[in-house]
Structure 1
Amino acid sequence: MEVPDWRTIPRMLRALADDHPSDVVVDDGTVRLTLAELRDRAGEVARGLIALDVLPGDRVAVWGPNDAHWVIAAFGVWDAGAVLVPLSSRYKGIEAAATLRSTGASVLITGHGHDGAVPADLLAEAAGETGGGLPFAGLPDLRHSIVPEGLERPGSAQPSQVLVAGSLIGRAEAEERALAVRPDDLCEIISTSGTTGTPKGVMLEHGRMLRGYWDWAEIVTLGPGDRYPVIAPFAHGFGLNAGLLASVMRRATMMPIATFGPDRLAALIRDGGVTILAGPPTLFHRLLEETEIGEHSVRVAICGAASVPAELIRRLLERIGLERMINAYGLMEGTVVSMTRADDPVEVIAGSTGRPVPGMEVRIVDDDGREVPRGERGEVLVRGYGVMRGYWGEPERTAEVIRDGWLHTGDIGALDARGDLAIVDRKKELFIAGGFNVSPAEVEGLLLREGSLDQAAVVAVPDERMGEVGWAFVVPRQGAAVEPEKVISWARDNMSNYKVPRRVIVVDALPVTGNGKIDKRALRARTTP
């Protein structure tokens, strides 16, 4: 099926709410929303944002765990013609402040944090308390902060207050704003470590996202009647676009999961009528090893990974009785690139990420940019509608990765004779911990803010549960005594948990290569027995 002629996310929501108003598209266990209700609630949020003087193209950040309120906020941002800036619910204050500054976000909408943490409090520690008419004195672009209902905080408003202000905005004015959004307008700026290390904001457009995730959902066979737990955070491209957006456009019921736990997910599979399940290989390993699933209705599983153990696929197909297991490859800068198909055997699903999706091209090139023969390894280049507009505010970095229309992914792969793409390595140093991209350069920079370290170098180490974890080799500042456990404790308090090094090893000096760069190959050798 071709993507309907919605052109923008606001028009998509209106068309579906008009034709299928009673279809339930959100069920987080507490709040259930039909398409008509989502349209109405998003419209209220949009009117509130307009009352806060949010203009088309302004950036609005949303920070909180997956829940129905996050979904409403996202569609409200899009209805207001603004650009959604998702903040990871795992962020600490330092990380959130950096993203808010780099994107120039004018409004921040927060939910409840994990483990009782209050995001606004975390941000105040990093960016200062209210001052000068601003919710956080150290964030001059951020004009408004919206905190959860019932939370009193100087300089911030509660949702009910914003909705009261929005009630003074005419519905016709808000509707005109929503319908004025164009297909080539930005809908999202998502932070990613990307292909070149440090975090950047990937600019994505309405029309491209609708096309990319309509096609993704078509191959997955996601549709009305499906119940789909969205485990990946909404701040992650997969959770937001292959979860939140795909569910609504296909009239499936998304089940936002705030915190993953294998027992809780197994209970949801048994009792919640789950039909679609997506996540990294570690999720499926934990389901098989740590839970008893029993009878269920899951028919399709999606696993986006460079490789998936064939034995894992066989166990899922045999023990859980799936109709299909799908592997896929994508990246924020390139959207969905390749997917396995319905008739692919286990060996293809395990050893490749399938064939390019319609409208996307893949080339494999050597270090000189020459295309290599089928079966040989090289850097994966991608071209097509899914390639991002660029990195927010960073034209030079954009030019580094998009050349002559081709996105240079930094991944190493090979195309076989049939056209299936296998991802075999990463050209850059990014690694994946529990399904999250981790940039060693970012973690190193954060560690140096702890205060006792002169140098830090992070390398990836295989881990049975997480896939990979980071080990940090650190050199103390002159006169400082470094205690590894205290460094790890600081890291837990100041960075997302998947970035926290599993081990900290204190060394007198870091090894260097002949050209003076830190020799990470030598450091990796120290991680093996």
Structure 2
Amino acid sequence: MSDCLPQFPAIATDPAISTIPDAVAHTARRYGDQVAIEEDGHLMRYGELYESARLAGRALMALGLEPGERVAVWAPNLHEWIVAALGIHMAGGVLVPLNTRYKGGEAADILARSGARVLFGIAGFLGADYPAMLRGHALPALRHQVILRGEREGWLSWQSFMARAEDTPAERLDARMAALTPDSPSDLLYTSGTTGKPKGVISTHGQNLRAFSDWSAIVGLRASDRYLIINPFFHAFGYKAGWLAAVIRGATILPVAQFDADVVLGCIARYRVSFLPGSPTLYLSLLAHPRLGAYDLSSLRVAVTGAASIAPELIRRMRKVLGFDVVLTAYGLTECCGLATVCRLGDALQTIATTSGRPLDGVEIRCVDAQGSDVMAGEQGEVWIRGYNVMRGYFDDEAASREAVDDAGWLHTGDIGKLDAAGNLSITGRLKDMFIVGGFNCYPAEIEHLIGTHPAVAQVAVVGVPDARMGEVGSAFVVLREGETLSGEALLEWCRPRLANYKVPRSVAFMAALPTNAAGKVVKHELRAVQAKAGT
């Protein structure tokens, strides 16, 4: 695996590189002529990316943006997204990415609560007209709206916006960048809001640089890599472990606006993709493609996936069928910059498949019981995180911040997990997803991992549903592999000798596909709704 070692040290070890603009300047000096972004025939080299980002920063200053003010981006993965984001950072602003699946009211809520001064958007995506969806919503703080592609009445075109740079001398931008420190806020990412309104998580330049410089070095991201980024830029996986990591290392960014197996397989072959992180669902979809063998996947080198428990068989197939040399897993959440643990090169297949690896340097992990006491190795408890990566707090929500991070600096994640003797973390569920069968705690991830090893099963999700006798029982939703047949009773019969009786689901529903959000995570509340409707 020696060819997977990084080409130069982790950028966070260089004291001269303490902010994201510093990192962009460093990469532009080192790899100025190398392609930074390639999108549908449009090439932008690192020298050009740096200069374009500077223009965007100067244009934002011309619009009146002050240090620390928020700027939102509501668009799919495009090269303009990256230029705008880096321009925001250079101007001392705080990036607020908006979920591309938001409706008008949801986007307006984030814009209003963040106090965003400028919004970068796109005319439409997946049939949604973003400007139209915002009409009628009160946004008193918003002063300017910029359309990244095309034109729209009341919005500045991208070209007109960039032309505003002429109104700000380059020296003023230099001064603005020089005033940034590692502790300057860089972004405000809003959580998924599964238990209420999304909360805004504040993180800083230094936190993000250190975390994703280390991540890039650990997973072996190289300047020569061609990185297909399917994970949405509004999410930490697509933004921080995506284009920011690529910029730190000097890799080529290949943005994809939405996942489509045919498109992705075609991109891998056409662009000679070598680096392809994603959710387990992404890899399962590629493996299930009926014409997989028609595509040249020989360029694939590294895959990194999230905290979902993965069957060892999937890892084997990713290596054997898709051709990855390296498959690693990692874990994080928005409240810790999106990253806390990662497997290392050389880890055993079982470690990679069943754990999310060990903490980053400078990060501590505990699994605790309801009283906050450490549980024994191998026992399940709530995952607590402490280190440089823990958020600076929730924006304008001191009460929620104090609830999430205690006085000793421990972030209470709400995730359930266990640590093995070597310090590898396995995520087994969420406190809110845990269901109780006759007094026994059940964690869906554990059950999903077992069912996922069945040779006919491509994907599975388990949720708890009400039961008159037991309180709650498990219900499994299953996607079968191409060409396979299986009955629900046959699957349950297969589970019974492999799971404690209370963990065995009481029902099985087969689906063509599991519902997922834009980040590729299964949306379990939709499955509960399906089950509730079926039970009526």
TM > 0.5 fold call: yes
Contact 1:59 1:105 in 2 (8 A): yes
Contact 2:297 2:323 in 1 (8 A): no
Alignment CA distance shift 1:162-1:59 (3 Å): same
2:428 paired residue among 416, 424, 427: 424
Letter in structure 2 aligned against 1:417: A
Cα distance in 1, alignment partners of residues 134 and 522 from structure 2: 19
Partner of 2:344: 341
TM-score (norm 2): 0.79
Structure 1 residue 429 displacement after superposition: 4.1
> What's the CA shift string for 1:312-356, capped at 9, x where partnerless?
111111112221110111111113111111111211111111111
Question: Is 1:68 matched with 2:84?
Answer: no
Structure 1 residue 96 displacement after superposition: 0.5
> What's the CA shift string for 1:342-378, capped at 9, x where partnerless?
1112111111111112111101110001111111111
Contact 1:106 1:141 in 2 (8 A): yes
Letter in structure 2 aligned against 1:249: I
Cα distance in 2, alignment partners of residues 171 and 148 from structure 1: 23
Determine helix, strand or coil for the equivalent of 1:48.
helix
Question: Is 1:59 matched with 2:70?
Answer: yes
Partner of 2:88: 77
Structure 1 residue 505 displacement after superposition: 6.1
Partner of 2:49: 38
Partner of 1:152: 152
Contact 1:461 1:527 in 2 (8 A): no
Alignment CA distance shift 1:428-1:501 (3 Å): closer
Alignment CA distance shift 1:462-1:276 (3 Å): farther
- Aligned alpha-carbon RMSD (Å): 2.9
Cα distance in 2, alignment partners of residues 319 and 406 from structure 1: 41
Q: Which moved further from structure 2: 362-371 or 333-342?
A: 333-342
Cα distance in 1, alignment partners of residues 81 and 140 from structure 2: 25
Letter in structure 1 aligned against 2:160: Q
Give structure 2 stretches of 5+ with no counterpart. Answer: 1-8, 435-443, 446-462, 464-472, 481-515
Partner of 2:197: 198
Contact 2:69 2:94 in 1 (8 A): yes
Alignment CA distance shift 1:101-1:429 (3 Å): farther
1:380 paired residue among 376, 379, 383: 383
Q: Which moved further from structure 2: 162-171 or 47-56?
A: 162-171
Structure 1 residue 20 displacement after superposition: 2.3
Aligned-residue sequence identity (percent) comes to: 39
Alignment CA distance shift 1:395-1:195 (3 Å): farther
For this pair of structures, how many residues does the alignment match?
450
Alignment CA distance shift 1:294-1:322 (3 Å): same
Alignment CA distance shift 1:410-1:39 (3 Å): same
Contact 2:302 2:326 in 1 (8 A): yes
Alignment CA distance shift 1:33-1:528 (3 Å): farther
> What's the CA shift string for 1:44-78, capped at 9, x where partnerless?
11111111100000000011010101011010111
Contact 2:202 2:393 in 1 (8 A): yes
Output aligned runs, 1:239-388, within 5 Å: 239-290=238-289, 291-292=291-292, 293-335=295-337, 336-388=339-391
Q: Which moved further from structure 2: 145-154 or 241-250?
A: 145-154
Alignment CA distance shift 1:90-1:461 (3 Å): farther
Q: Which moved further from structure 2: 89-98 or 289-298?
A: 289-298
Q: Which moved further from structure 2: 402-411 or 159-168?
A: 159-168
Give structure 1 stretches of 5+ with no counterpart. Answer: 128-137, 433-439, 441-458, 467-491, 507-522
Question: Is 1:236 matched with 2:235?
Answer: yes
2:409 paired residue among 379, 397, 405: 405
Question: Is 1:396 matched with 2:399?
Answer: yes
Structure 1 residue 383 displacement after superposition: 0.6
Determine helix, strand or coil for the equivalent of 2:87.
helix
Structure 1 residue 121 displacement after superposition: 1.1
Partner of 2:184: 185
